[in-house]
Amino acid sequence: MGAFLFLFALLLTTISIRFVDGGNAPTGNWYGISGDYTGQHLAGIIAGGDIYLSSNFGTSWTAASGAPSANWHSISVSSSSEYMYACIFDGDIWMSSNYGAQWQVTT
């Protein structure tokens, strides 16, 4: 699976993500998911919830620390996964420049 690129567009629908490899994706209304060029590092957003990160092709997920629970709209991950941007509906744009370890509002 490592050679595949994982880019999903999940549009304003209630979707429960369950990966074919049996991953433990959090439940909720997923609004977006994005990954690096290998598909190993993924970031996903749940509306009215958290940003979730995976570093093992979606096998396991953890909530990103430093980013608020919010009504997330979209997320984007750079090809190296170092930079991540997430937008809140009618709100701020948050960014991480260290692989999702810390998040801050952009200016």
pLDDT at position 105 over 90: yes
Say what the pLDDT of residue 12 is. 30
The DSSP output letter for 42 is: E
pLDDT digits (tens, 9 = 90+) for 48-86: 899 999 999 988 999 998 899 999 999 999 999 999 999
Closest C-alpha among 76, 64, 68 to residue 26: 64
Under a CB-based contact definition with an 8 Å cutoff, are residues 55 and 17 in contact? no
Say what the pLDDT of residue 31 is. 87
Task: Provide the whole-model pTM.
Answer: 0.77
Q: At a CB cut-off of 8 Å and minimum separation 6, what does 40 contact? A: 2, 55, 56, 57, 81
Mean pLDDT of 18-30: 66
Say what the pLDDT of residue 23 is. 58
pLDDT at position 17 over 60: no
From CA 12, how far away is CA 15, in angstroms rounded?
Answer: 9
